[in-house]
Structure 1
């Protein structure tokens, strides 16, 4: 056989291989994926991550008080994100459809392309309501309240008509999304009962839930830290460069899309999946599971150096809620149950919760997160999708027992895996030895220096 014939056969085989590869790629439809990757850092829908508490009984113990720190529910994006979604997405939508249908470029399947064609930006999305709670956000919190009433009927009964009996304490930051979250949670607990002991504290005076907003030393440390460059290193490195190239090709563009265009598509994917938990955003079809995991890591990296172990002062700024919890539990330990509420509920933000988790040394990795160690940190503990999705919450229940008192810890309605505790049940004396020094010596004077 001549060399020319061999060359022709080789070319034919290569073409066939490429066609088969393209065919296999086209066979995948995000719309048909029964197990899509829905973890999106702090923009993860609560329905994706929360558990169901099946047993609240602790042998020979009686629950005396539940203490909860709760992040607001699903919200709208920020003002700039809304602006970019409105300006960029419709134009990208039309170009992607044209790439596939007119130029025969791109590899979205027909079903994903059709869903993108019929996509419309949420009519309720308004820059004047940036970061406001959404309808799903209200549902997140009302459902959460209803479930906790079922979990702990001994503690969470009907709201007392006698307003002098302060059975429950509710406090929120002075932000629309946390105030509405508090109201929705109360509605889930007690229906339409009028609750007259809610408290909303202005940010400038909120040393319990928003100390990080007014602590100059911590703010200076965050803004001056060289470690924040880790996020820039990741964004400007080979991983994101490859994502931009892959997404551009997948959507049929002959040129590389800008990072801003790729980011706004990912933003739409994340928020729309959280807004409509029974649907899937067509923008998610632009990304593979692996690419979404890298976006997730980028936010974990940011949070690690903003509100967690990457900052030395994080455990100091995060200690006021822990101090509050320990002060309440200490009063119960000392027999002051008549003066203590049965339920204490605080409504705040992702940063508040992350700082508290850091103070408690929850989800602490033995190796710091870096731009360079993504592959080796795939199984990291610090994962904001699991720790701080929308409506994330830490619940601590104090039990008075025949022998040693107990505290049961839940994170997002799952028993918290905490060192020295079994299935989230800790001896109160053990907790005092483990983290009591942080709670009882919560010195925030550094914030005023």
Structure 2
């Protein structure tokens, strides 16, 4: 009996050690903190350039851009819109609650620096309800940077005269497309007086003549709602974590540390709203006094909470996974057209939303590894430190999936396909690697011509 108890104790100790190595237990003890990823990570509200800076493998390191045997002949770009302002409901909450908390914390938050207390004392919301969902100036700048990056990779393909552009019906995708196109026009139209008002008016007319089409393809994540199957929402795991004792303890520690009194009725929902405002201001203005109120593990915990929701949206429902087949079917048709007609368009640019990217990544079995949280022996929740599904790096503002068709002379006119996510080479089903013969891809997805109808998919039972 003693031997069995001893073995159980050893097993428990091993398990506890494993948790300490691979998991972060929510605690107020700073000495348990580990080196987390960039403190600027904010889930899907992270800026693309922040995520790009933290990625170690970029296309320039993975792929030889000056490959003499293979020439890029077609580019398929599917991107999320860039940095935007919050939606109307969230702006109304911020207008109602944030001025109150700014005054309380600036007055009572004794552990804050004088600079942060000063910034909170004079803080005002720099946008209003008329800005809802519009792309910010920082978003337009970031889109311009992304356009320049891909133009540097594929200058011959991003010729504005041979590009098709489609957006969703949401204004933020149209404004992102506009910024992307305007950058390409700016690069390709030589003019010594580009910064004059006359040049701006001329450029605006040129871009406005470029046909930007609204496509239902980019709103497939909403199509099933017509059939009474929203297939979105907060999972049981999300609710378990959000309403856990560990999260309530985190809220209490936060409120005590920042001088929020009990009578203020400070809830975990309010703490989440403060964190969301921190993320928006950080993405929009590159800084926010609200971010200084959070310890790294608190932001880490909220990021993981958001990832539960997005991962469930992607992998939790069979219908959500299946509906992304329309994107791959569309890609397949575009690749066949580019292969058979060398005079067709050089590039397809699509601008959509994060929910669209979730479904696409799920359909392609990308970033599938996502460990669930655990409990230690004291009932404390412990969150996994490393996971593939991390929206801060895979679905930030401006995230993109790109497929490039190559003509390789060395293989008797063999066409090959390169697939990328955020400039990193990825291997997708139907290809033996990230750079595979086109026929492999076309043959693998040939069934989609008959088996990919949204109306039929939306009527399927949940799985």
TM-score, normalising length from structure 1? 0.79
SS at match of 1:406: strand
How many angstroms does 1:434 deviate by? Answer: 5.6
Corresponding position: 1:336 with 2:341: yes
Match of 1:182 in 2: 177
Report the equivalent of 2:152.
150
Instruction: Find the aligned partners of 1:354 and 1:439 in 2 and give their Cα distance.
Output: 22
Match of 2:194 in 1: none
1:151-200 Cα offsets, whole Å, 9 max, x none, are 1112123x33xxxxxx1100111111111111111001112234534233
Counterparts of 1:260-299 in structure 2, within 5 Å, are 260-277=269-286, 280-299=287-306
On the 8 A contact 2:373/2:382 being kept in 1, the answer is no
Contact 1:71–1:390, Cα closer than 8 Å, also in 2: yes
The secondary structure found in structure 2 opposite 1:396 is strand
Structure 2 alignment gaps of length 5 or more:
1-28, 187-202
Matched with 1:83 is: 92
Compared with structure 1, are the counterparts of its residues 180 and 41 closer, same or farther at alpha carbon in structure 2 (3 Å cutoff)?
same
Asked if 1:199 corresponds to 2:206, the answer is no
| 1:304 pairs with one of 299, 306, 311 | 311
Residue correspondence of structure 1 range 12-411 to structure 2 within 5 A: 37-50=39-52, 53-54=59-60, 55-100=64-109, 106-122=110-126, 125-157=127-159, 159-160=160-161, 167-191=162-186, 192=203, 193-194=206-207, 196-201=209-214, 206-216=215-225, 220=229, 222=231, 228-255=235-262, 257-277=266-286, 280-306=287-313, 308-333=314-339, 335-338=340-343, 340-365=344-369, 369=372, 375=382, 377-402=384-409, 403=411, 404-411=414-421
SS of structure 2 residue aligned to 1:234: helix
- Cα deviation for residue 347 of structure 1 reads 1.0
Question: Is this contact kept in 1: 2:82–2:143, CA < 8 A?
Answer: yes
Greater CA drift, 227-236 or 109-118:
109-118
What is the alpha-carbon distance in structure 1 between the residues aligned to residue 72 and residue 224 of structure 2?
A: 35
Q: In structure 2, what is the equivalent of residue 9 of structure 1?
A: none
2: CA distance, partners of 1:355 / 1:49: 20
**Contact preservation (8 Å) 1:300, 1:382:** yes
Aligned twin of 1:13: none
Partners of 1:230 and 1:371 within 8 A in 2: no
> What whole-Å deviation, never above 9, does each CA across 1:237-256 have from its counterpart, x for those lacking one?
13321220121121023427
Moved more, 146-155 or 282-291: 146-155
Cα contact 2:365–2:429 (8 A) shared by 1: no
Residue aligned with 2:272, SS:
helix
The question of whether the paired residues in 1 share the 8 Å contact of 2:322 and 2:457 is answered with no
CA offset digits 1:350-402 (Å, max 9, x no partner): 1111111111111112x665687974633111111111111111111110112
In 2, Cα distance between the equivalents of 1:253 and 1:284?
Answer: 16
Are the equivalent residues in 1 in contact too, given 2:431–2:441 (CA < 8 A)? no
Separation (CA, whole Å) in 1 of partners of 2:374 and 2:326: 31
CA separation of 1:108 and 1:66: change in aligned 2, threshold 3 A = same
Distance 1:149 1:288, change over 3 A: same
**3-state DSSP of counterpart to 1:222:** coil
CA offsets 1:252-304 (integer angstroms, 9 cap, x no match) = 23427222321221111100000023xx2110111111111111111111112
Once the two structures are TM-superposed, the CA of residue 209 in structure 1 deviates from its matched residue by 1.1
Once the two structures are TM-superposed, the CA of residue 447 in structure 1 deviates from its matched residue by 4.7
The answer as to whether partners of 1:45 and 1:74 remain within 8 angstroms in 2 is yes
State whether residues 320 and 439 of structure 1, in contact with CA within 8 Å, keep that contact through their aligned partners in structure 2: no
SS at match of 1:62: strand
Q: CA RMSD in A?
A: 3.0
Which stretch has the larger CA shift, 177-186 or 411-420?
411-420
C-alpha deviations, 1:124-143, integer Å up to 9, x for none? x1213211111111112222
Kindly indicate whether the alpha-carbon contact (under 8 Å) linking 2:428 and 2:434 is maintained by their aligned counterparts in 1.
yes
> Equivalent residue of 1:182, what SS?
helix
Structure 2 vs 1, CA of residues 230 and 424 (structure 1 numbering), >3 Å: closer, same or farther? Answer: same
Q: Distance in 1 between matches of 2:372 and 2:405?
A: 34
Q: Would you say how many aligned residue pairs link Structure 1 and Structure 2?
A: 394
